[in-house]
């Protein structure tokens, strides 16, 4: 099967969608399928890539670590035709997501959309962020999903949510799988020596993109509470992003800077070493759609303490492989970490084994099986127009134009009001 994966984020960007595309493409190729990835250009992308088409992009959009792909350049369609895709799989409902729709529509190919993200939780990267902008993001993703032949949801929670929002196309739960063998072993003591973490320390770990939507301020406040009560405890943070400075500032204000260790972005085998240097994995994000980093941590045998939210609730079993906390405060989160720290002997080993068993159920071969089964069933639709697609496309275009014009007007009005207010203050 020839599979075209279309994404707005890909290596070297570090994030859930980029890692998902990379993982699925590797598994598909391992099974003999041909995969072509359409993704934005990055200045530090790998020099050699296998079947990746890059399109020009605006880098560091609104001071974020995202790139914004520009419209498809001339000649790219010829490359797509040469690949002869059997199916198009879009990872986003905008930018290159529109390109994916056009490619599939004009070639009469089935198209799948993975609803990776709760887009309304990322509108703070846009100028003029507002409740109207967040509603626009929800409506955009819903309308886009309904123009596709099939939708993948990364978790049961997200499937329920998007169906409640109005997605009527068939939805299958297909999380991004983990490769348990990549995390089964690691150099615990060597990694601790490298980052000056005492060998006897109890280490709480976290990995991911360090961004405001990840609820990292909550996590940092929970950690300083926990470490203040446990002077032998340390926090190991794997990742990079705009929230790093704030995290460091919180630890410094509490005079706990020596207990914070920021490793930055790590590849294998250093990532496995980092996980094995930890004793428990802490996760406070409520904006996730799946628990990818949680299953990777569990593959290393780490119990997880997480807030009860989409993605986490499908992976963490409270008291079974970690702690899942509903409506917790930072102090209550710290208490859950304390619960893990005080475990010992057989109970701790049971928790660690349960974590590994959970990771096995989310293995990449299992999740790829689900995706490929869906692809194969959709191939029967090749050459047949999706009912209502023409009118649906026109409705989508009209919606985008009308709503975007409205949002721009609201943003302009808000800026004018702010400028007038500042002028009034200045005259007093």
Give the start-to-end residue ranges of the domains of the chain: 2-177+366-418, 181-361
CB 117 within 8 A of CB 93: no
Tokens 């009209």: give the residue: 398
Helix (H, G, I), strand (E, B) or coil at 318: strand
What value does the mean pLDDT take over residues 191-217? 93
pLDDT of residue 414: 41
Tally Cβ neighbours within 10 Å of residue 213: 18
CB 230 within 8 A of CB 202: yes
Residue, of 418 and 398, whose pLDDT is higher: 398
Q: CB neighbours of 269 closer than 8 A, spacing ≥ 6?
A: 186, 187
pLDDT of residue 118: 74
The tokens for 96 are 């290159």
- The CATH superfamily holding the domain 2-177+366-418 is Glycogen Phosphorylase B; (3.40.50.2000)
pLDDT tens sequence across 350-370:
999 999 999 999 999 999 999
Over 90: is that where the pLDDT of 274 sits? Answer: yes
pLDDT of residue 43: 74
CA 427 to CA 390: how far, in whole Å?
Answer: 56
Packing angle between helix 345-361 and helix 292-299, nearest 10 degrees?
130
pLDDT of residue 121: 62
Over 80: is that where the pLDDT of 18 sits? Answer: yes
Over 60: is that where the pLDDT of 421 sits? Answer: no
Pairing of strands 304-307, 280-283: parallel
Assess whether the region 2-177+366-418 and the region 181-361 belong to the same CATH fold. yes
User: Which pLDDT band, with edges at 50, 70 and 90, does 395 fall under?
Assistant: low
Over 90: is that where the pLDDT of 416 sits? Answer: no
Over 80: is that where the pLDDT of 425 sits? Answer: no
What value does the mean pLDDT take over residues 130-149? 85
The tokens for 158 are 């997200």
Q: What values do phi and psi take at 320, rounded to 5?
A: -100, -55
The tokens for 133 are 């902008």
CA 248 to CA 237: how far, in whole Å?
Answer: 11
What value does the mean pLDDT take over residues 187-196? 97
CB 114 within 8 A of CB 93: no
Torsion, CA 76, CA 82, CA 88, CA 93, rounded to 10: 0
User: Which pLDDT band, with edges at 50, 70 and 90, does 383 fall under?
Assistant: very low
Over 80: is that where the pLDDT of 111 sits? Answer: yes
CA 407 to CA 400: how far, in whole Å?
Answer: 10
Tokens 């198209």: give the residue: 111
pLDDT of residue 42: 78
Where does 161-201 show beta strands of DSSP type E? 171-173
Over 80: is that where the pLDDT of 381 sits? Answer: no
Over 90: is that where the pLDDT of 251 sits? Answer: yes
User: Which pLDDT band, with edges at 50, 70 and 90, does 392 fall under?
Assistant: low
**Average pLDDT value over all residues in the chain:** 84
CB 129 within 8 A of CB 168: no
Lowest mean pLDDT among 277-291, 361-375, 394-408: 394-408
CB 283 within 8 A of CB 166: no
pLDDT of residue 14: 63
Q: CB neighbours of 182 closer than 8 A, spacing ≥ 6?
A: 268, 272, 299
Task: Kindly tell me the burial class for residue 317, based on how many C-beta atoms sit within 10 Å of its own C-beta (0-12, 13-18, 19 or more).
Answer: middle
Over 50: is that where the pLDDT of 16 sits? Answer: yes
The structure's pTM equals 0.78
Q: What values do phi and psi take at 138, rounded to 5?
A: -65, -45
Over 50: is that where the pLDDT of 420 sits? Answer: no
Residue, of 198 and 386, whose pLDDT is higher: 198
Q: What values do phi and psi take at 5, rounded to 5?
A: -105, 125
CA 189 to CA 306: how far, in whole Å?
Answer: 26
CB 41 within 8 A of CB 60: no
CATH 3.40.50.1820 correct for 181-361: no
Q: Which of 300, 115, 341 is nearest to 207 (CA)?
A: 300
Lowest mean pLDDT among 32-46, 169-183, 192-206, 256-270: 32-46
């Amino acid at each position: 099967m020839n599979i075209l994966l279309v994404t707005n984020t890909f290596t070297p960007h570090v994030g859930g969608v980029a890692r998902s595309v990379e993982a699925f493409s590797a598994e598909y190729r391992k099974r003999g399928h041909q995969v072509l990835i359409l993704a934005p250009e990055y200045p530090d992308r790998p020099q050699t890539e296998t079947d990746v088409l890059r399109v020009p992009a605006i880098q560091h959009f609104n001071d974020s670590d995202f790139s914004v792909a520009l419209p498809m350049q001339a000649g790219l369609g010829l490359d797509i035709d040469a690949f002869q895709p059997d199916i198009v799989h879009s990872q986003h409902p905008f930018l290159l997501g529109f390109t994916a729709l056009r490619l599939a529509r004009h070639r009469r190919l089935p198209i799948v959309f993975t609803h990776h993200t709760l887009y309304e939780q990322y509108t703070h990267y846009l100028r003029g962020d507002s409740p109207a902008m967040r509603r626009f993001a929800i409506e955009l993703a819903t309308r886009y999903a309904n123009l596709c032949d099939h939708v993948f949801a990364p978790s049961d929670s997200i499937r329920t949510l998007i169906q409640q929002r109005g997605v009527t196309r068939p939805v299958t739960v297909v999380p991004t799988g983990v490769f348990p063998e990549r995390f089964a072993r690691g150099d615990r003591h060597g990694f601790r020596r490298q980052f000056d973490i005492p060998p006897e320390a109890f280490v709480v770990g976290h990995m991911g993109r360090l961004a405001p939507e990840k609820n990292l301020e909550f996590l940092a406040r929970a950690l300083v509470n926990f470490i203040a009560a446990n002077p032998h405890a340390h926090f190991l943070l794997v990742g990079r992003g705009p929230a790093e400075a704030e995290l460091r500032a919180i630890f410094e204000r509490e005079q706990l800077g020596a207990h914070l260790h920021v490793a930055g972005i790590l590849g294998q085998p250093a990532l496995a070493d980092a996980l094995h240097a930890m004793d428990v994995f802490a996760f406070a994000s409520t904006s996730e759609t799946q628990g990818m980093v949680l299953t990777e941590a569990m593959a290393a045998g780490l119990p997880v303490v997480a807030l009860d939210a989409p993605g986490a609730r499908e992976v963490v079993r409270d008291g079974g492989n970690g702690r899942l906390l509903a409506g917790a405060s930072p102090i209550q989160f710290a208490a859950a970490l304390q619960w893990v720290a005080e475990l010992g002997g057989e109970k701790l080993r049971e928790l660690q084994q349960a974590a590994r068993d959970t990771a096995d159920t989310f293995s990449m071969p299992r999740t790829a099986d689900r995706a490929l089964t869906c692809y194969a069933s959709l191939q029967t639709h090749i050459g047949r127009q999706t009912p209502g697609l023409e009118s649906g496309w026109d409705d989508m275009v009209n919606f985008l134009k009308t709503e975007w014009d409205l949002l721009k007007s609201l943003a302009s009005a808000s800026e004018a009001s702010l400028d007038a207010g500042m002028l009034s203050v200045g005259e007093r």
